[in-house]
Amino acid sequence: QVQLVESGGGLVQAGGSLRLSCAASGRIFSDYYVGWFRQAPGKEREFVAAIRWSGEITYYLDSVKGRFTISRDNAKNTVYLQMNSLKPEDTAVYSCAVERGNRYREARSYDYWGQGTQVTVSS
């Protein structure tokens, strides 16, 4: 069993930055993926980024490449999503999740989810 708690969301102006944290408890193996997803009102949940727990592999949604960076601190059992140059279209509830296979882009493949944190980017 894995429990996830997100933090770090908030209100920021366009062009600003936020860092989201995903604190994990429970057993996470090196070949698991931790992903960040977002869901805006009236839209489908969208893959944003993923990192293999071992840390050597990362993936990003094309529209966030170069602006967002996913990383992890194994000692703290925490995954971060550094978001720079934020745009109003980044506004959504961001959630982290753990996936035990390799279908890291598919929300339905994830087994454990956090409660989500709101990110609002004003223009």
Residues across the chain = 123
**Sequence letter at residue 56:** E
Q: Are 27 and 111 in contact (CB under 8 A)?
A: no
DSSP one-letter string for 60-118: E-GGGTTTEEEEEEGGGTEEEEEE-S--GGG-EEEEEEEESSS-TT-GGG--EE---EE
pLDDT for 29: 84
Task: Walk along the chain (123 residues) and give the pLDDT tens digit of each residue.
Answer: 899 999 999 999 999 999 999 999 988 888 899 999 999 999 999 999 999 988 779 999 999 999 999 999 988 999 999 999 999 999 999 999 999 988 899 999 999 999 999 999 999
